[in-house]
Amino acid sequence: MKWPYTRSTREPGWLVVRLQPGELQFVHGRYQSDAASIIDRCGVRSLDGEFDGADRIAKELEFQRYQCSTLLAPGEYQLLQVDAPNVPQAELKTAVRWRIKDMLEYHPDDATIDVLGVPAAGGAGARGSSMYAVAARNDVIQTCIARFEAARIPLTVIDIPELAQRNLASLFEAEDRGVAMLYIGEDQSLLTVNFHHELLMSRRIEAGMRELGPGGGAERDEGRQRVLLELQRTFDHLDRQFAYASVGKLVLAPEREDSGLLDFLGANLDLPVERAHLAGSLTFAAQAELSEEDEWRMFHLIGASLRNEEKAL
């Protein structure tokens, strides 16, 4: 399919589109290394049925003018840490495919795979002896591509939430210190740790806003303790395995509603805990003003829109 705009003539930055049954969400951002990155526009549109009407909305909002990306949902891929193969760059993905074959629940030939390095000691850009492999079933990728083609949205990149969160956590890094970021989703939470603006580690925690929010009832205390325990285990592991990447603070992403975790974790962890105020770190244009609940809802789309080609997967 030919689009009326080429990559060189499209608007700078990335338009991230999430197509889900009954709803289309979008965020356009522009990463800037020498100034605050910009969020130009964002919004939510209702769809008829599951995905009907997405093509009409895409035409109305002129999505064809942009480089577009989307995010896989947590159950649609695996993020696996493996030993880095000692092979030429051109053979890396083939070697990693072989290494992860026993970690997949399907044949490795049925997987789409990409790789990214784990930051090491020795300064920005240094690579360690391990790396991450991102694996998704081919049919998941093809279904995603077909959905965007049907909506006439020029999809260029398929991203994952861990890398989107890495992009936002980078805004809160201090020089030569790691930063942890915790996002509380609806049913589960995502913990990431950055070092030198790269993803060092990630964890999924089985506790979300449904139980951690004000209406969580008796499950709330159990959920808080589960989050705290996972954080403590992760930081202990980092101290043992990545002593060069000392974590300077934990940043709590915007929430749908106040869970009380900020005060709870601040009182129980031996490092500073602060709230991520995106408006203080990004420039939001008039077409992209968001409430804190909207920031929570579209958090990973915002992060994915700040894709930096120099460090992108």
Q: Reading across the β-sheet that carries 38-46, which strands appear in turn?
A: 155-159, 66-71, 11-20, 23-30, 38-46, 283-284
**pLDDT of 267:** 97
**pLDDT of 125:** 52
44-66 pLDDT, tens digit each: 999 998 899 999 999 999 999 99
Q: Tell me the pLDDT band of 1, cut-offs 50, 70 and 90.
A: very low
**pLDDT of 289:** 86
Q: Residue 49: phi, psi to the nearest 5?
A: 70, -145
Residue 76 has pLDDT above 50, yes or no: yes
Residue 46 CB contacts under 8 Å (≥ 6 apart), including other chains: 22, 23, 24
**pLDDT of 124:** 52
Residue 122 has pLDDT above 80, yes or no: no
Q: If you average pLDDT over residues 264-268, what whole number do you get?
A: 97
Per cent of the chain over pLDDT 70 is 93
**pLDDT of 7:** 56
* Dist CA 252 CA 180 (whole Å): 9
198-242 pLDDT, tens digit each: 999 999 999 999 999 887 677 899 999 999 999 999 999 999 989
**pLDDT of 3:** 43
Q: Which domains occur in the chain, in start order? A: 74-139 (3.30.420.380), 162-278 (3.30.420.40)
Most confident of 85-89, 172-176, 248-252, 256-260: 248-252
And the tokens for 29?
């951002």
Q: What is the pTM of this model?
A: 0.93
Residue 2 has pLDDT above 50, yes or no: no
The three-state secondary structure class of 110 is helix
Residue 292 CB contacts under 8 Å (≥ 6 apart), including other chains: 254, 255
**pLDDT of 310:** 61
131-183 pLDDT, tens digit each: 999 999 999 999 999 999 999 999 999 999 999 999 999 999 998 899 999 99
**pLDDT of 10:** 83
Q: If you average pLDDT over residues 83-107, what whole number do you get?
A: 92
Residue 6 has pLDDT above 90, yes or no: no
Q: If you average pLDDT over residues 79-104, what whole number do you get?
A: 92
Least reliable range by pLDDT among 59-68, 84-93, 203-212, 259-268: 84-93
> Using alpha carbons only, how large is the chain's radius of gyration in Å?
20
And the tokens for 57?
């909305």
